[in-house]
A = this chain, B = another copy of it.
Amino acid sequence: MPTMLAGADDALREQTVATETLLQGHFLKVRRDTVRLPDGATATREYVQHPGAVVIVPLIQDSAAGVCVVLERQWRHPLGRSIVELPAGKIDPGEAPLKCAQRELREETGYTADEWACAGRLHPLAAYSDECIELWFARGLTAGARALDPGEFLEVFTATPEELLHWCWQGQVTDAKTLVGAMWLQNHLHGAWPLQWQRAPQSAP
């Protein structure tokens, strides 16, 4: 076991010696840095710069079915198909992650939530993106009207945790953040990974 699990100040460190913007697209920004490696050699690192995102595990307490989770089916052009995902979205400039989670849940599914709990962070693709996704649980949901962005199309549906985990096992859920959310949900429902719930701060509709 390493003395330090992960850190910024260690023998593996790469020092940035030059940086340039390779691409400023409509959506993607790509940077190329020249770095000095631990052995003194240099190398280049190309990666997407991203403002960060949130993913939400929205829980509905259904009197008949028990707990249900709100999911989406969305077309993902890079894959050429639609996939099942938890609600998620990109953080706006200056936006707090919880505000973003409240906004994305409302826009994409119509739901507002009474209580929220942060379950941690994940890095979807540390090799070539600096994106960090914060994982939030939401409960005490109230249905309302969706407000999708222009050009955004997605279907909203609910499933039991057992269904979601079955799809994860069977390969019908392949989206990484959704798989991680399912792992958290499984351990949370089994009492192993507790959450600290907080009342939702009020936000303008």
Contacts and interface: CB of A to CB of B under 8 A. Distances in A.
Contacts of A77: 14, 16, 33, 35, 45, 47
Copies in the complex: 2
A77 B12 CA distance: 10
Interface string A64-78: 000000000111111
Interface string A161-172: 001010111011
Interface string A35-57: 10111010111111000000000
A83 B192 CA distance: 24
Given A6-B73, A12-B82, A30-B25, A153 B38 contact: yes
A154 B1 CA distance: 13
A51 B13 CA distance: 27
Interface residues of A, number: 85
A175 B128 CA distance: 12
Contacts of A26: 32, 44, 46
A175 B123 contact: yes
A115 interface: no
Interface in A147-205: 150-151, 153-155, 157-159, 163, 165, 167-169, 171-177, 179-180, 182-183, 186-187, 192-193
Contacts of A158: 1
Given A12-B74, A176-B177, A124 B121 contact: no
A80 B8 contact: yes
Contact of A123 (B37, B38, B79, B167): B79
Contacts of A48: 28, 48, 78, 128
A23 interface: yes
Contacts of A1: 157-159, 163
Nearest to A42: B151
